[in-house]
């Protein structure tokens, strides 16, 4: 624990405790297995469905919780209350992530299942749980304060170009910004910022394919007298997704 240091920022939100992708895959696998058992023993369909969602909920209850993020001068501290363990025993966990454990990070926005845009910070670690996602979905104001302090801190790990007398000073100072901050053993810490997916070449290719597919479906729909139900699906599912990709990749990325 590093709580003896003065916090730079702090906020609390609901968050995955482990690697989010692994938690989702584990929850889905457990739920599917329980549903399959229900089908095999011949229980009614609604019970099989209850087993599916119950298995997913059980995994999530142990792997998601209320997390207090504290930004400290030498890293990030998580104070974790997993939903089910905390309900049963009031058990809390504390995890400290030093800057030397973070390889890179990403600050971006995306859409939730409720079709609401949210902002997040994703940390890519060189130790378990490998990835940490921090979002603004529960406390936007707290997240923004934390994000601003975090991004300001990340500037300390970006190499700066120095010239003249400052270069000599840099050679003597292991903590100078031009050399990057260093861990206790003297190893230079480098934390890179990852580019948003929507700013990559792959995103441009995918978006162009989406546009071409949408145009193709519309032309076929008109020529083949596509049913009204299919037009509704086209208008509700395909077009909004295509418009969103065009907006993120070709319009908002240039701002």
The tens digit of pLDDT for each residue in 8-45 reads 999 999 999 888 888 999 999 999 999 999 999 988 98
- Is residue 2 one of the residues assigned to a domain? no
Same domain, 95 and 208: no
- Is residue 249 one of the residues assigned to a domain? yes
Say how many domains are in the chain: 2
Could you tell me the CA-to-CA distances from 11 to 80, 150, 192, 219 in Å, in that order?
12, 12, 24, 51
pLDDT less than 50: residues of the chain: 1-3, 160-179
Same domain, 222 and 117: no
pTM, to two decimals: 0.73
Same domain, 110 and 204: no
Same domain, 100 and 37: yes
Alpha-carbon distance 106 to 149, whole Å?
15
Same domain, 150 and 46: yes
- Is residue 117 one of the residues assigned to a domain? yes
Could you tell me the CA-to-CA distances from 156 to 117, 125, 164 in Å, in that order?
29, 18, 21
Query: What is the domain range of residue 19?
Result: 9-193
- What would the pLDDT profile of 129-145 be if each residue is shown by its tens digit? 899 999 998 899 999 99
End-to-end Cα distance, the chain:
41
Report which of 177, 183, 172 is spatially closest to residue 161, judged by C-alpha positions.
177
Alpha-carbon distance 33 to 53, whole Å?
11
């Amino acid at each position: 624990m590093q709580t003896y240091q003065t916090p730079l920022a702090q906020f609390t939100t609901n968050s995955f405790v482990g690697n989010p992708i692994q938690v989702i895959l584990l929850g889905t696998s457990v739920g599917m297995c329980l549903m399959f058992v229900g089908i095999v023993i011949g229980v009614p369909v609604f019970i099989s469905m209850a087993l599916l969602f119950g298995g997913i909920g059980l995994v999530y209850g142990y792997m998601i919780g209320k997390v207090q993020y504290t930004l400290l001068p030498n890293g990030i501290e998580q104070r974790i209350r997993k939903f089910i363990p905390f309900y049963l025993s009031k058990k809390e966990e504390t995890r400290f992530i030093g800057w030397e454990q973070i390889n890179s990070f990403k600050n971006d926005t995306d859409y939730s299942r409720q079709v609401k845009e949210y902002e997040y910070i994703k940390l890519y670690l060189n130790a378990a749980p490998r990835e940490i996602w921090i979002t603004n979905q529960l406390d936007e104001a707290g997240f923004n304060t934390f994000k601003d302090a975090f991004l300001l801190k990340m500037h300390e790990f970006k190499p700066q170009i120095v010239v003249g007398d400052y270069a000599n000073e840099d050679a003597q100072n292991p903590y100078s910004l031009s050399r990057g901050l260093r861990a206790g053993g003297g190893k230079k810490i480098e934390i890179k910022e990852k580019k948003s997916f929507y700013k990559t070449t792959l995103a441009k290719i995918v978006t162009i394919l989406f546009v071409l597919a949408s145009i193709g479906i519309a032309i076929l729909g008109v020529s083949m007298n596509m049913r009204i139900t299919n037009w509704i699906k086209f208008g509700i599912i395909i077009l909004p997704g295509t418009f969103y990709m065009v907006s993120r990749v070709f319009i908002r990325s240039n701002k």
